[in-house]
Amino acid sequence: MTDEALDFRLLNDFQRDFPLCPAPFAELAARLGVAESAVLRLLEGLRREGKIARVGAVFAPKRIGASTLAAMAVPPERLVAVAETVNRFPEVNHNYEREHRFNLWFVVTAGSEGRLQAALGAIEQVAGYPLLRLPLLHEFHIDLGFSLDGKTDKVLPGDSRRRAFVPPRPLDEFERRLVMALQEGLPLFIRPFSVLASRVGCDESEVLERIRHWCAEGIIKRFGVVVRHHELGYTANAMLVHDVPDDAVAGIGETLAREPGVTLCYQRPRVLPDWRYNLFCMIHGQLRGDVEARISQLRSRLQLRDYAHATLFSVTRFKQGGARYA
């Protein structure tokens, strides 16, 4: 297998269902028919190139800690300076310029609701502009991987694998240390979970058992390779929002989430009079024209043309990283 073909397999096939065993990279190598050293070398190369953010856990929203999407309307001449100010907060893990009056969009994550609200207040005060707070109300499809081959295998609301929502609970000291270690990603070593265990102060078996338990509970949404779509050529990134009647949003959201081109789909609150939209989805593509055509087809086929909408393409990526819960 060529390095290019192996890169694609690593990027596409192991965003989920990563082997949770003492020597996971040896297991990946066995599945791919190559040496363990080749897997580690290529993953390290992909990380250096920025094509992957990390190998590790993606935690489910609202299962540990607290988070929200936020937006600001910033004068264009002040946008870069304000974005840099926002980026200084460690609670901010994504920060994008988008085409809209509300032109700065970022995600804020903290270990608790109280810390989240404190961070939002501080950001608003330091930035000097009112903050639009748009917490998650209902997820229809969130971060189960980014398909590079056009195929999808989505876990959606009607799927038997989906579990009822369980409110977040405080982390004990062991869990807090493990979350902190996992935030950095899995070390690219032969026994990565042993390295994590040494950082946390426990046995390797305890780390693996807790990660498996979190995956089974749905606290970890997926465990595997976390790709960076922009570096892989998917530079046309659009947030499509609709104003849907409250009694119809669940049905429309579930239908929209099943569409192959939709990578994220969720309900967030309206904030009137400034923000009228309550149904959000993300669509990524390599060319803007292709994404615009896909959006037009979706709105026509799903009979969404009667609902007000906006399409917010990303312009500048100011920050992109993993959520910081602790």
Give residues with Cβ within 8 angstroms of 313, minimum separation 6. Answer: 98, 99, 236, 237, 238, 239, 288, 291
Cβ atoms of residues 232 and 15 within 8 Å: no
Would the pTM count as exceeding 0.75? yes
Q: What is the pLDDT of residue 167?
A: 58
* Gap between the Cα atoms of 8 and 98, Å rounded: 29
Beta-carbon contacts of residue 88 (< 8 Å; ≥ 6 apart):
none
Q: What is the pLDDT of residue 131?
A: 97
pLDDT given at position 152: 52
Could you tell me which residues are beta bridge partners of residue 242? Answer: 279, 309
Q: Across residues 80-98, what is the average pLDDT?
A: 96
| Residue 84 in tokens | 């840099």
User: Are 140 and 156 contacting, i.e. CB atoms less than 8 angstroms apart?
Assistant: yes
More confident residue, 49 or 152: 49
Question: How large is the average pLDDT for residues 238-249?
Answer: 97
The strand pair at 132-134 and 262-267 is best described as unpaired
| Tokens standing for residue 4 | 């290019």
Q: SS3 breakdown of the chain: % helix, strand, coil, rounded to 5? A: 35, 25, 40
- Please determine, for residue 128, whether its predicted confidence score (pLDDT) is greater than 80: yes
Instruction: Give 295-326 pLDDT, tens digit per residue.
Output: 999 999 999 999 999 999 999 999 988 777 76
Q: What is the dihedral angle through the alpha carbons of 260, 32, 226, 21, rounded to the nearest 10 degrees?
A: 120
Query: In the predicted model, what is the mean pLDDT of residues 92-106?
Result: 97
Mean pLDDT across 233-240? 90
Establish whether the linkage from the previous residue to 19 is cis, with ω within 30° of 0. no
pLDDT (average), residues 93-121: 95
The percent of residues above 90 in pLDDT, for the chain, comes to: 68
Burial of 123 (0-12, 13-18, 19+ CB in 10 A): buried
Give the mean model confidence (pLDDT) for residues 68-86.
Answer: 98
For the chain, report the end-to-end CA distance as a whole number of angstroms.
40
C-beta of residue 110 within 8 angstroms of C-beta of residue 66: yes
Beta strand 279-285 with 309-320: parallel, antiparallel or unpaired? unpaired
Supply φ then ψ for residue 181, to 5 degrees: -70, -40
Cα separation, 105 vs 116, in Å, equals: 16
- Whether residue 148 has pLDDT greater than 70: no
- Total residue count of the chain as it appears in this document: 326
